[in-house]
Structure 1
Amino acid sequence: MRVPAFRRFLLAHLVSATGSAMAPVALAFAVIGQGGGARSLGIVLTANTVPTLVFLLMGGVLADRMSRSRLLFMGNLGAGTAQAALALLVATGAASTFAISVCACVSGVAAAFIAPAAQGIATRLVSREQLQQANALVRVPGNAVKVVGPVVGGFVVSFTGPAWALGWDAVTFVVAALLLLGLRLAGSVPSGGGALDDLRTGWAGFRARNWLWSYTAAGTAVVAAWLAGYQLLGPLVADRGYSGARSWGLVQGAFAAGLLAGTFVCLLWKPRRLMLVCVVASSAIMLPLAALGAGLSLSWVLGAAVVAGIGLDVAIVAWSTVMQQQVPDAELGRLGAFNAVGERVAIPFAYLLVAGASAYWTSRHILLVCAAIILAATVANLCVRDVYRIQRV
């Protein structure tokens, strides 16, 4: 916290989080409000995910070659523009599944350049022994806002519609972009070859690390099942089986409360076997899917969401620390991009599969299947020896 650049980075996360915490609720009910169901929401989420997959590797190469702060600026500015356009479409009643999908596509492209650049920011601002604390601190303001943000977003959507929440998200993206541009962080020294040479070198480094590719392979199933269940089916189950946007906002808030609690766990606890902690803790996200799928009362769903949030945040901080300590800074963008692509490559297929399966199965049955997939992938990942060997530097 004594480093001015780190404080600026922290402030940018806080500003952006105030809008992003409300955006998922607003987006889901913007689709529902124009008459869409699971199929329409699946199309929108797929349109957001596919461009990210297409451009992620390019974002990883650029993150290792050029200024990471400039990449974050351009990415946040692009995302803010897309959200502003979407808010305008929703406010004027011109939103359709196609129009919302176009805006989601632009946001997906922006995310492809934001994620690899953000992965390597902390290594430039603090020492290696402070990385876990830095990663946890960066998540404190965002998680704190997420506790009330989804709840506020649910009420805003209920009383005024989703346009206002989407518009605020656009404003926060632009403000965060300006703050991040002020970091002025240069890129690593280029390898001297072209982009394809950089990708080949990054792929070789990715394959050489068993802990990295095995966790990514497990994440392919875990992330797809989690997002298809929580992001796609969650709002629909809340709309039909609970009290709509308000109850889903409470679930989102409970999940964020767990994320915040997990952040403080990471500030106080320094586990030696970081990879083992990461794999086990991430499996907690199956709990709210199982609770929703089993038709439990809202109080049980909220409790499951809190535990899932704790586990996920511990896993995220542990994973970020492992990557930053085990991977050289000059390769961090590319290897992080390969990991991100691997974890997201199945998401569009999961959205489309769930959207198609919803015509034959109930949403609750599909949620139970998603929870079982997460459990099976976790058990498989625990059979990898390097999961137990990777330790804190």
Structure 2
Amino acid sequence: MTTTTRPEHGASVASPLRTPAFRRFLLAHLVSATGSAMAPVALAFAVIGRGGGAQSLGIVLAANTVPTLVFLLLGGVLADRMSRSRILFLGNLGAGLAQAAVAVLVAVGAATTLAISVCACLSGVSAAFIAPAAQGIASRLVPREQLQQANALVRVPGNAVKIIGPVVGGFVVALAGPAWALGWDAATFAVAALLLLGLRLAGSVPSGGGVVGDLRVGWAGFRSRTWLWSYTVAGTAVVAAWLAGYQLLGPLVADGSYAGARSWGMVQGAFAAGLLAGTLVCLVWKPRRLMLVCVLAGSGIMLPLAALGLELSLAWVLAAAVVAGIGLDVAIVSWSTVMQQQIRDEELGRLGAFNAVGERIAIPIGYLLVAVASKHWTGQHILLVCAGIILAATLANACVRDVYRIRRV
């Protein structure tokens, strides 16, 4: 198969789906998403089944998150220097092997917290190389005017299976055990790896400058774009407040003020439905001021935090979750399109990695602050503070002049 490159404008087709290489990429994403949607349920019950509690599960999650942060910048450099399709192949293959190891450990009854954490660490390293390489794939496969539609289509499979995947995963775990669900996730990674290898996308920057030199050039490019670093700084606060409020406090408040797991499951379902609806919005709505839409739409995630903090009825919380999901997906698609249109292909991996590190680096701090604050404040009060942080960061970012300057190409 010949090397796939960015199509010329004169070769534009009516839809990204008319491009065979993009269909292959979309199929790989769909296959992988079916396993990834079930994996969290299976992993949680694999830990619980061995007698582990919140502490054990927290160790496993940390073992998965920290390596991603450590290796993201290196992943960004390699995404600009090497074949992105080969990086995606190796990254998915590595993640599949790690998940297969967990499945075997669970099946034979040897899934200790340490053993699962080692596998989670390997999976986190793989994710650090997959994310930067995937950032620029769409811009290589479709014309620039089709990037938003392509980014939205890539989001459809993952958002769709988020609605039914956890339910299916729960049934599989209940009927056959977590090992089968984890094994399926490993198989989907392997299939996706083979599909992605077939894209054969070459790297952009010839090797020779060194990793440190490439990082310096990438950092200079990151600093020179006000819209990029201001959004990343705002995201540092927004992402930490959102995850600390939604993932950590959300289930606890639902357990104390609503109907527990049943109510929280409905909230998560409503949020996933909103994500899918947001993807469909992006398929038909093409705003000119993409960056402004990205900043404002993303602020919708404060709504379910505020609704839970004010102890509104479950109906209002569900409505807020749907709106939050719609806004978040519109923001994600808009951001991906802005990055691909405004940044040269040979810099996209590194600049995307700097953004990803900046947005994630404060997540552990957010969890720690919430743990400390919970000794003095109620969960509802902290949720309102988290919502206020998201609102304040959004308003500050909306005041940046470059946010208004960035428009659809």
Structure-2-length-normalised TM-score = 0.88
How far is 1:82 from its partner? Answer: 2.1
* Deviation larger for 283-292 or 67-76: 283-292
How far is 1:201 from its partner? Answer: 0.6
- For 1:284, the equivalent position in structure 2 comes to 300
Match of 1:54 among 62, 67, 70: 70
- For 1:345, the equivalent position in structure 2 comes to 361
- For 2:282, the equivalent position in structure 1 comes to 266
- For 1:204, the equivalent position in structure 2 comes to 220
How far is 1:223 from its partner? Answer: 1.1
Matches within 5 A, 1:63-102: 63-102=79-118
For 1:301 and 1:169, the matched residues in 2 are separated by 32
Tell me the SS of whatever aligns to 1:85. helix
Match of 1:133 among 131, 149, 160: 149
* Deviation larger for 215-224 or 80-89: 80-89
How far is 1:268 from its partner? Answer: 0.7
Contact 1:154/1:249 (CA < 8 Å) preserved in 2?
A: no
For 2:213 and 2:259, the matched residues in 1 are separated by 53
- For 1:323, the equivalent position in structure 2 comes to 339
1:204-242 alpha-carbon deviations (Å, 9 max, x no partner):
000000000000001111112222233334445556665
Contact 1:271/1:277 (CA < 8 Å) preserved in 2?
A: yes
For 1:239 and 1:177, the matched residues in 2 are separated by 40
For 1:218 and 1:162, the matched residues in 2 are separated by 38
1:65-88 alpha-carbon deviations (Å, 9 max, x no partner):
111011111111111222223334
How far is 1:322 from its partner? Answer: 0.5
- The structure that has the greater radius of gyration is 2
Tell me the SS of whatever aligns to 2:399. coil
For 1:171 and 1:74, the matched residues in 2 are separated by 14
Contact 1:275/1:318 (CA < 8 Å) preserved in 2?
A: yes
* Deviation larger for 261-270 or 236-245: 236-245
Is 1:120 the counterpart of 2:139? The answer is: no
For 1:314 and 1:334, the matched residues in 2 are separated by 23
Matches within 5 A, 1:206-355: 206-238=222-254, 247-355=263-371
- For 1:378, the equivalent position in structure 2 comes to 394
Tell me the SS of whatever aligns to 1:64. helix
Aligned length: 393
- For 1:26, the equivalent position in structure 2 comes to 42
For 2:237 and 2:177, the matched residues in 1 are separated by 34
Contact 1:52/1:108 (CA < 8 Å) preserved in 2?
A: yes
Tell me the SS of whatever aligns to 2:18. coil
Contact 1:37/1:236 (CA < 8 Å) preserved in 2?
A: no
The gaps in structure 2 that reach 5 residues or longer are 1-16
For 2:360 and 2:376, the matched residues in 1 are separated by 25
Residue type at the aligned position of 2:350: R
Residue type at the aligned position of 1:136: A
1:94-115 alpha-carbon deviations (Å, 9 max, x no partner):
4444343323222211110000
Is 1:17 the counterpart of 2:33? The answer is: yes
The gaps in structure 1 that reach 5 residues or longer are none
1:141-187 alpha-carbon deviations (Å, 9 max, x no partner):
22222221123334445565544433322221121111111111111
How far is 1:21 from its partner? Answer: 1.7
For 2:361 and 2:204, the matched residues in 1 are separated by 27
Residue type at the aligned position of 1:151: V
Structure-1-length-normalised TM-score = 0.91
1:370/1:86 Cα in 2 relative to 1: closer, same or farther (>3 Å)?
farther
1:49/1:126 Cα in 2 relative to 1: closer, same or farther (>3 Å)?
same
Tell me the SS of whatever aligns to 1:21. helix
How far is 1:44 from its partner? Answer: 3.0
1:70/1:216 Cα in 2 relative to 1: closer, same or farther (>3 Å)?
same
1:315/1:380 Cα in 2 relative to 1: closer, same or farther (>3 Å)?
same
For 1:262 and 1:51, the matched residues in 2 are separated by 31
- For 1:3, the equivalent position in structure 2 comes to 19
For 1:158 and 1:372, the matched residues in 2 are separated by 40
* Deviation larger for 234-243 or 78-87: 234-243
* Deviation larger for 66-75 or 229-238: 229-238
Is 1:189 the counterpart of 2:189? The answer is: no
* Aligned residues: CA RMSD: 2.5
For 1:59 and 1:118, the matched residues in 2 are separated by 11
For 1:236 and 1:89, the matched residues in 2 are separated by 31
For 2:91 and 2:249, the matched residues in 1 are separated by 28
- For 1:177, the equivalent position in structure 2 comes to 193
For 2:116 and 2:79, the matched residues in 1 are separated by 29
